[in-house]
Chain A
Amino acid sequence: MKCLGIDIGSRTIKLTIMKNGKPIYMHKSLNTYDPINEVKKHLNDVEYDVMLATGYGRSLAQREFNAETVTEIKAFAVGARHLFPECRTILDIGGQDTKAISLNDAGKVVKFEMNDRCAAGTGRFLEVMAKILGYEIDEFGNAALKGDDNIQISSMCTVFAETEVISLLARGEKRENIARALHRAIAKRSSAMLKRVGVIEPVVFAGGVAQNPCMIEFLEEMLDISLVVPEDPQIVGALGAAILAGEK
Chain B
Amino acid sequence: MADYREMWRSLGIDLESHDNLLDILGKLYGDIYLSQNKRPEGMEYLDFVVSEVHGYRIKELLDAQKVGSKVFGTFCVFVPEELIWAADGICVGLCAGAEIGKGDAEKVLPRSICPLIKSFMGFKLAHLCPYTELCDLIIGETTCDGKKKAFEIFSEFKSTYVMETPQMKREKDYDLWRNEVYKLKEKVEEVTGKEITPERLKSAIKLINDRRRALKRLNKLRREIPVPISGRDALLINQISFYDDPKRFTEKVNLLCDELEKRIERKEGVVSDKTVRVLLAGSPMALPNWKLPGVIESSGAVIVDEESCIGERNIRAMVDESGETMEELIDALVDRYMQIDCACFTPNNERIEHIIQLAKDFKVDGVIHYTLQFCDPYLVESYKVEKALEKEGIPVLRIETDYSMEDVEQLKTRIEAFVEVLR
Known: A56-B409, A97-B410. A116 touches B400 (CB 8 A): yes
User: Which of B158-166, B277-285, B411-419 has 4 or more CB atoms under 8 Å from chain A?
Assistant: B411-419
The answer to whether B406 touches A73 (Cβ under 8 A) is: no
Alpha-carbon distance A108/B420, docked complex (angstroms): 10
The answer to whether A117 touches B413 (Cβ under 8 A) is: no
The answer to whether A114 touches B414 (Cβ under 8 A) is: yes
Min Cβ gap B385→A in Å is 15
Alpha-carbon distance A73/B418, docked complex (angstroms): 9
The answer to whether A114 touches B420 (Cβ under 8 A) is: no
The answer to whether A109 touches B420 (Cβ under 8 A) is: yes
The answer to whether B401 touches A114 (Cβ under 8 A) is: no
The answer to whether A71 touches B400 (Cβ under 8 A) is: no
Counting CB contacts under 8 A, is B67 at the interface? no
Counting CB contacts under 8 A, is A110 at the interface? yes
Of the candidates A56, A110, A116, A117, the one whose C-beta lies within 8 Å of that of B421 is A110
Residues of B within 8 A of A56 (CB): 409, 413
Residues of A within 8 A of B3 (CB): none
Counting CB contacts under 8 A, is B41 at the interface? no
Nearest CB in chain B to that of A114: its residue: B414
Counting CB contacts under 8 A, is A72 at the interface? yes
Counting CB contacts under 8 A, is A112 at the interface? yes
Residues of B within 8 A of A108 (CB): 421
Nearest CB in chain A to that of B413: its residue: A71
Of the candidates B401, B407, B420, the one whose C-beta lies within 8 Å of that of A71 is B420
Instruction: List CB contacts (< 8 Å) of A108-146 with chain B.
Output: 108-112, 114, 116-117
The answer to whether B413 touches A116 (Cβ under 8 A) is: no
Residues of A within 8 A of B410 (CB): 97, 114, 116-117
Question: Contact residue range for chain A?
Answer: 10 to 19
Residue in A71, A108, A112 whose Cβ sees the most chain B Cβ within 10 Å? A71
The answer to whether B407 touches A73 (Cβ under 8 A) is: no
Counting CB contacts under 8 A, is A11 at the interface? no
The answer to whether B420 touches A72 (Cβ under 8 A) is: no
Min Cβ gap A139→B in Å is 30
Min Cβ gap B300→A in Å is 11
**When each residue 210-254 of chain B gets 1 if its CB lies under 8 Å from chain A and 0 otherwise, what string results?**
000000000000000000000000000000000000000000000
Chain A interface, >50% SS class: mixed
Min Cβ gap A174→B in Å is 35
Residues of A within 8 A of B416 (CB): 70-71
Residue in B395, B400, B409, B414 whose Cβ sees the most chain A Cβ within 10 Å? B414
Min Cβ gap A115→B in Å is 8
Residues of A within 8 A of B421 (CB): 108-112
Min Cβ gap A191→B in Å is 19
Nearest CB in chain B to that of A110: its residue: B421
Residues of B within 8 A of A112 (CB): 414, 417, 421
Residues of A within 8 A of B413 (CB): 56, 71-73, 97, 114
Residues of B within 8 A of A110 (CB): 395, 421
Min Cβ gap A25→B in Å is 26
Min Cβ gap A132→B in Å is 25
The answer to whether A70 touches B414 (Cβ under 8 A) is: no
**When each residue 80-108 of chain A gets 1 if its CB lies under 8 Å from chain B and 0 otherwise, what string results?**
00000000000000000100000000001
Residues of A within 8 A of B409 (CB): 56
Min Cβ gap B405→A in Å is 11
Nearest CB in chain B to that of A117: its residue: B407
**When each residue 381-423 of chain B gets 1 if its CB lies under 8 Å from chain A and 0 otherwise, what string results?**
0000000000000010000110000110110111011001100
Min Cβ gap B263→A in Å is 31
Min Cβ gap B417→A in Å is 4
Nearest CB in chain A to that of B398: its residue: A113
Instruction: List CB contacts (< 8 Å) of B47-90 with chain A.
Output: none
Min Cβ gap B354→A in Å is 24
Min Cβ gap A151→B in Å is 27
Known: A114-B410, A116-B410. A73 touches B401 (CB 8 A): no
Alpha-carbon distance A112/B417, docked complex (angstroms): 9
Alpha-carbon distance A189/B259, docked complex (angstroms): 52
Counting CB contacts under 8 A, is A28 at the interface? no
Nearest CB in chain A to that of B399: its residue: A116
The answer to whether A73 touches B400 (Cβ under 8 A) is: no
Known: A56-B409, A97-B410. A116 touches B401 (CB 8 A): yes
Min Cβ gap A95→B in Å is 13
Residues of B within 8 A of A59 (CB): 412
Alpha-carbon distance A59/B416, docked complex (angstroms): 12
Min Cβ gap A31→B in Å is 14
The answer to whether A117 touches B420 (Cβ under 8 A) is: no
Min Cβ gap A89→B in Å is 15
With A56-B413, A71-B420, A112-B417 given, can you name 14 additional A-B contacts, CB distance below 8 Å? A70-B420, A71-B417, A72-B417, A73-B413, A73-B420, A97-B413, A108-B421, A109-B421, A110-B421, A114-B417, A116-B401, A116-B407, A117-B406, A117-B410
Chain B contacts to A: CB under 8 angstroms: 395, 400-401, 406-407, 409-410, 412-414, 416-417, 420-421
Chain A contacts to B: CB under 8 angstroms: 56, 59, 70-74, 97, 108-112, 114, 116-117
Q: Which 5 A-B pairs have the closest CB atoms?
A: A73-B417, A117-B407, A71-B417, A71-B416, A74-B420
**Could you write out 24 A-B pairs with CB less than 8 Å apart?**
A56-B409, A56-B413, A70-B416, A70-B420, A71-B416, A71-B417, A72-B417, A73-B420, A74-B417, A97-B410, A97-B413, A109-B417, A109-B420, A109-B421, A110-B395, A111-B421, A112-B421, A114-B410, A114-B413, A114-B417, A116-B400, A116-B410, A117-B406, A117-B407
